[in-house]
Amino acid sequence: MKNIRVYLMTLLVLLTLTLSSCELVGDIFEAGMWTAVIIIVLVVLLVGWLVRKFRG
């Protein structure tokens, strides 16, 4: 458990030094946007598949 803390602290320091806060926030929102798009497409495909199954 102690090793995980060291790795997390190292990662946090690395991110702090390499990314500006605006760039980090922009990357987080971009990743969230693409995740939402993929989930929405999967839900639409699932609903379409269920409608086809029930209509026969």
pLDDT digits (tens, 9 = 90+) for 1-56: 567 878 888 888 877 777 676 777 788 888 888 899 999 999 999 999 999 999 97
At 39, list the tokens. Answer: 């989930």
Task: Write down the domain spans for the chain.
Answer: 2-55
pLDDT at position 4: 80
Amino acid residing at 56: G
At 5, list the tokens. Answer: 């803390």
Ordered alpha helix ranges (H), 1-56? 2-18, 21-55
- In angstroms, rounded to a whole number, what is the distance separating the alpha carbons of residues 15 and 23? 11
pLDDT at position 17: 74
pLDDT at position 44: 96
